[in-house]
A and B are shown apart, each in its own frame.
Chain A
Amino acid sequence: MLPERPITPSTLSRKDLPWQIKWDINTCTKCGRCTSVCPVNAIELGVFRKRDVKPPMGLNAKPTTEFFTYYGIRQRTDPAYACIGCAMCNMVCPNNAIEPNRQYDSTTLQFQNNRGGQPRTRGGRRNNSESLLDQIKFIRISMLTDPALDAGRHEFDVRTLLGRVLSPEAEIKCFRENGWKPPVREIYPLVIGGMSFGALSPNMWEGLQMGVAYLNEEMNMPVRMCTGEGGCPPRLLRSRFLKYVILQIASGYFGWDEIIHAIPEMKEDPCAIEIKYGQGAKPGDGGLLMWYKVNKLIAAIRGVPKGVSLPSPPTHQTKYSIEEAVAKMIQSMSMAWGFRVPVYPKISASSTSLAVLNNLVRNPYAAGLAIDGEDGGTGAAYNVSMNHMGHPIASNLRDCYKALCVAGAQNEIPLIAGGGIGKHGNLAANAAALIMLGASMVQIGKYVMQAAAGCLGSEKDRCNVCNIGVCPKGITSQDPRVYRRLDPEKVAERVVDFYLSFDTELRKVFAPLGRSTSLPVGMSDALGISDKDAADRLDIKYVI
């Protein structure tokens, strides 16, 4: 250590960083790709000076000292440049000479990553790898009285309804009297949740849209994608593909002008309108698109200046209460499309979910309720919000479904569950569990990024820099130098791949349960869990 090297309270050694770069001098070709690709500049080319003492044979000659320099890779220890473990360096290295290693015993950075008085914000999901959904098992498998179905060959109808469904009595009355019927869409139960044009890079967005269009038009799977707040590219708004899109409006109303202006020229109605009141990862907090990502295109679509942070307030500022907001916004959004488009709110799973649901049940225009659990990923949230706030989705959804059962409205208001689905890759099992707990459909965000674009983020705080526009894979960056790494065609291919495999897996779950002609919404007798408290809370079977 140099004698003048400063040692301050925030000085860290390599050992203090959660990710450490292992670099092999012998295999390194010194091509420099690793340092140029590193999204957070955690590594830099270094010039190292080394002394070599050469003692000669014999006693007469004195030892000589030679100094030489060589070039290598240096990991920076400044907390602002801490390695995020994305391993892009390894991906570009021709010889595997470099890779990050996780140090699970070093927690020091946690005490240092709020410099300047700013708590840490990040993208990704909470730093908790547990998943209750993964513990749920499907136990009601027909073995004796009922031959199990052949998942590969039997006829299946894996579709769900989005929109207010009338009760049988009301439906018949409506038919008889030729009355107004709320719009209902028959869609695939796995929806790509709200990730905005702005949060995602243009290439990622385009890839997802292409994948969704292909699934609809070639594979006969009515998959829908939500835009997230932030508008929609004008060409898409005026295209026939709009019917595969759920447009979201949130408290910032970003991009909404663009949508309103396009209404007269729309060839198709959108699939639905989602009004975002809350999100799972930061309940009670607004969305935030940080200035890094607000480039010219995003600024134009959202109607804001370039390079400024865009926070959506936590609540709808123009509304006095949730009752009023639900009633007024749903009605005005419905009115914008002549009551032909389902409109539903999205809320964070919380202790007030039931109150919101209660309002919706009595609102004839409400088309559903999306509930986002605590595991929902997000663009930019404070660490403390993401890790410590919110309600897990399973019990919240179950409460809501049971409340619908009591009201006799369980077929009328579809519940859309999100947050932590497929966290460990078990997408179909998690989705099926939620459907059987009462969800009419589920929505995914992070999984799509991981499966379709190779998002590197994990629940162990790997990467998770989606918010600052340096996404190493180009998924959430608005910098063309970064997002051109992502090929939209390949993203679309992967979207189709994982949807088809999800479909197969879902059938493999439903078929042994004997379900094929309707989605087993609320089929809670099929579920078991080895945690007694969880079993009691969810009102499912306790199995060990």
Chain B
Amino acid sequence: MCRLFALTSRDPVSPMRAIDALNVMKEGHDGSGVGLFLSGLGGPWEELKEYPILSGIFTDEGLSRMSDYMTKNGFQPKYSATFTPDVEPPGGTPRRGTYASIAFKIPDGWKGMAEDQVSRNLVQMRLNLRAMGEESGDIMVFSFWPDTIMIKEVGDPLAIADYLKLDREELQARHILAQGRQNTNYAINLYACHPFFIEGISTMTNGENTAFVPIREYLMSRGVTGYQGYQSDSEVFTHIAHYATKRLGLDISAYKHVITPMNDDEMRDHPDREFLSDLKRACRKLIIDGPNCVIGCLPDGSMFMAQDRKKFRPGVVGGNPELGIYGFSSEICGLNAAIPDRDRTKDFQPMHLDTAIVGPDCREVLQCSQKDPLRPQL
């Protein structure tokens, strides 16, 4: 089972804190890969919030092809944090080249463009680059979005962290999602490594998404740029979150109503019964059957955790409002390791109706039950 750990903090922290938590949780065959999502970046990135950052892995050839492509599209590199390991990679990890995060200045022609259009264009560029590298493997791109860095690699998280020097100051972030495993279902592929990302939304998941194929087919038919790839059965959770929040304009507390709607009995006395039952019908294809624990981060820096209806996967949220740091963990030992100085009695383990949300201010865990009235959102 995948181990998940997420941190959200008022002040930037090193991703090593999340990697260490993964290490504490490690068990069995865990550690076959690592994926990192960083946003709310600190250090040198603080001044570059407006500039989309391209994260990926490039060979020398790939780097030059990518550079040509970006220049051709009018993008000028503004700042880059590249890292080319000069030591032997850990056993089982291939030598790939340069791990790069490059902030670009968007072309003047894009000024005044609608926000939606900019988003779509950025996604399209990421997909184009990904497609460019798919045959030869010289370009792998995980994200192209402002204030976001993604790193993925196969191997043990701690060994990879050491190999890629993840404790660099330039990698500090306020919101971190980390997962310590390659995907178990379907073919092994670096793109299949959690977390997944689209337009500022990132999620990671453990367990098995048994409804993967119908959900994938449904999402792919929605006509949204970026709903493609699907090397992992869990990638659809990110896209459902994107679809629910960006396409349908729902609040994240309604995400759970989409993926795991209430049954008739539970819905009977709900003040928003009419809307919820309509939503359940319309989004029937997006119902997950799990078992999954989904942890995600939204563009505003809010972080959330939700379970499938059966709640076959554990998950805990806890933290310290005074220090302004909260952790989302699939095992409590990981939370203990990452945030030892917290009031453990306030740890919250979301049950099958709950969504736990920690806002960007990192002050409290907001506990949303599906039985609660919906927040105004329509």
Residues of A within 8 A of B (CB): 140, 142, 144-147, 149, 154-155, 157, 161, 165-172, 174-176, 181, 184, 405-411, 513-518, 520-525
Contacts and interface: CB of A to CB of B under 8 A. Distances in A.
B352 to A, nearest CB: 10
Contacts of A157: 263
Interface stretch (B49-57, B188-196, B281-289): B281-289
Given A145-B1, A172-B249, A175-B275, A517 B260 contact: yes
Interface of B: 1, 184-185, 207-208, 210-214, 217-218, 220-223, 243, 247-250, 260-261, 263, 274-275, 278-279, 281-285, 287, 289-291, 309-310, 312, 378
Contact of A522 (B1, B213, B223, B278): B213
B281 A184 contact: yes
Nearest to A518: B287
A318 to B, nearest CB: 34
A184 B278 CA distance: 10
Given A145-B1, A165-B281, A172-B248, A517 B287 contact: yes
A525 B212 contact: yes
Contact of B213 (A147, A168, A409, A525): A525
Contacts of B248: 168-169, 172
17 contacts: A142-B208, A149-B310, A161-B281, A165-B281, A166-B282, A168-B243, A168-B248, A169-B248, A184-B281, A405-B220, A409-B221, A410-B285, A411-B218, A514-B289, A515-B289, A521-B285, A523-B210
A405 B312 CA distance: 30
B211 A518 contact: yes
A172 B250 CA distance: 10
Contacts of B278: 166, 171, 174-175, 181
A372 B261 CA distance: 32
B223 to A, nearest CB: 7
Contacts of A521: 214, 285
B213 A142 contact: no
Contacts, number: 117
B83 to A, nearest CB: 33
A405 B217 contact: yes
A523 B211 contact: yes
B309 A517 contact: yes
Interface centre among A145, A169, A405 (most CB of B within 10 A): A145
A181 B221 CA distance: 22
A142 B249 contact: no
B226 to A, nearest CB: 16
Interface class of chain A by DSSP: loop
A510 to B, nearest CB: 9
Given A171-B279, A175-B378, A146 B287 contact: no
A516 B310 contact: yes
B282 A411 contact: yes
Given A520-B211, A521-B214, A408 B290 contact: no
Contact of A520 (B214, B279, B283, B309): B214
Contacts of B289: 514-518, 520
B210 A410 contact: no
A272 to B, nearest CB: 16
A155 B311 CA distance: 12
A166 B289 CA distance: 22
B284 A408 contact: no
Given A169-B247, A169-B248, A175-B378, A515 B217 contact: no
A112 B271 CA distance: 71
A145 B279 contact: no
A172 B378 contact: yes
A408 B279 CA distance: 17
A514 B184 CA distance: 16
A161 B378 contact: no
A284 B249 CA distance: 48
Given A405-B217, A410-B214, A513-B210, 15 more contacts: A147-B291, A154-B310, A157-B263, A161-B284, A165-B282, A168-B243, A172-B248, A405-B218, A411-B284, A514-B290, A514-B291, A518-B211, A520-B214, A522-B213, A525-B213
A405 B285 CA distance: 11
A405 B221 contact: yes
B221 A408 contact: yes
Contacts of A181: 278
Nearest to B243: A168
Nearest to B285: A411
Given A147-B312, A514-B289, A517-B289, A522 B282 contact: no
Contacts of A406: 221
Contact of A146 (B210, B218, B309): B210
A321 B223 CA distance: 32
Contacts of A409: 221
Nearest to B258: A168
B310 A522 contact: no
A410 B208 contact: no
A170 B248 CA distance: 10
Closest 10 CB pairs of A and B: A514-B210, A408-B221, A171-B282, A146-B208, A518-B287, A522-B214, A525-B213, A145-B208, A168-B282, A411-B285
